[in-house]
Structure 1
Amino acid sequence: MAKRTDFRSEIKRLEQGIRVAWFINFAIIWVLVIAIGVVFGLSTRVSNAQLAQEMLVFAGIGLVVALIIMAVVSGSAERILLSAPAGDAVEVTNGQLKNIVEEMAIAAALEQQPRVYILRGSGVCNAYASADSKGNSMVVVTEELLDLLNTREELEGVIAHEIGHIKTGDSQAMTKLVALTSTTAIIGSMASRMLFFGGGRRNSDSNNSNGTNPIAIVIIVLSYIFLIAAPFLSKIAESYMSRERESRADASAVEFTRNPTGIAQALIALENGADHYGSKSEAKNFGETIGPVAFYNPSFAGLDLSSHPSTKKRVAALKAMGAQVDDSSL
């Protein structure tokens, strides 16, 4: 018999993954700024001593710029998730959905009750949550999801998952990471355009009597490569963090409901029935705007860059925590 996973130890393990993803993104921005300095400012005709000195300068400048970017993103990114995707969000003040959100918020010991919305006209079966640094939060459930789920325990599992994001600060963290990834892509794109249109990088090369330094050439070539690869590497870190937080929220849902079967059944229902609602374009638009923070995101970007673990993996993890479901249809 497989050993059952304790959800508290699972959450602790995944918290380490969140920190790793943040560190990776910080390192990417730092190296990206260094690469820009090298491409536009490093001569191929420098001595090894001059090369070492210039690289130290680039590293220092890159560190300061990376810290500034991180600070700006951390201070302004919280507002991004507070805007809803396409559809008409109607606040709910009573009824079963409101009661379930209140119950799960109490189970999670939230200081403030989240606002509850039903999103109509989205064309997708899904749910998501957002929160700000002041403790204000909201849970949004699409009308199509309410139609798809068959039991209260399935809806409780979905809501508990979203409450888990609020409880652990995942919504804020992911918003910041998405903003950080976008910033990396913008910086890389701007640098690439400058290179394409010609930056006049090394006008001093022809005036320098020193011979060409092969180490400098290697560093410059690697910097060119990194300018192209940086947005892709940042996306990998973003996807890694998103998958980690989804697994963590699943574990939180088990903690709040004491029922891993409910959320597992909801995932199976979504995997088998979500395509019956809306259109592919509506699902794509929702995935591009809310996908990384939604309960369910079936789209895959290739090369394992999906924002969520596969449903099969999520259900398998829930079965390891005690879920009793038939997942043969996955």
Structure 2
Amino acid sequence: MTGLTTVTATAPGPRAVPRHGEGSGAPPRWRTPLLFCGPFAVLFLAMYVAPIVYAAVSSLFAVRRSGLGLAPPVKVFDPLGNYVQALGDKAFVASLGRVALFGVVQVPVMLVLALGLALLIDSRSARGKGLFRLAGFLPYAVPGVSAALVWSFMYSPQSSPVNHLLRPLGLGIPFFDDGTVLWSVANIVTWSWTGYNMIIIYAALQSIPAEVLEAARMDGASALRIAWNIKIPAVRGAIVLTAVFSIIGSAQLFNEPTVLQPISGGAVPSTFTPIMSAQAAVAAGNYPYAAAQSVILAVLVGAVSLAFFTLTGRRAKA
């Protein structure tokens, strides 16, 4: 028809899809992991990093009091004063040596017991595995202070059932002698934490493929040889992990000796461990000195843990 305009319909071209975060109104990709990691980062900074920084800064100041003690104490900047005092404090240095001896002896004994129990429960002929796992873990479920109170009854010269049974034989165990009190504490720690480490190692044993164990049995390997050549190397990572946890825990030794202190007859002084020594400084109002002791302990524990990781890593590669 005349006067009508012909319109040619054309197919629309492909629309450009905006990239994620580019004009689509969606948040950038980096915001999603930040939302998940944010709560942890806040708690980590507030509960872990901030106290360490505060202790390190506080240790750089020293408390000065007047000769007569009439004026209030003042803090002066003395970056090395507290550290020199701590390293020259025989009681604090002795507490470091005491904890080092504790860790060298107690940690290997505890881990050997934990590994042995885990291997026994994991053995093919074991029965009632759930019951034995629960029985081994129950001591860890008991709060540390409560466990120490129970053991203080076992150690007490007046109420110790152990010495009561040994008395007719003319024997007795001096739990609070200077040479044995450290091992009395070690016994409580070993009783409390062996089951915890056993569970970690036992869980690692469950990850060993059953085909590997069955192939070893078909080749005629005994249960002892399978445990030594297959199972123990396979759980090496778990053993290293529990060893590091135990080293750190040894440095934090506090509850058990503190509970035993009132009945120890002076065998457990207020500076028995580094944490107890720092707590004594806090009780005396010398917070910077306590902070310096804490920093020294943290540095030593970090150095020992790093050296242990390095040593075990080199052996793994060899």
Bigger-Rg structure (1/2): 2
Q: Normalization by structure 1: what TM-score? A: 0.28
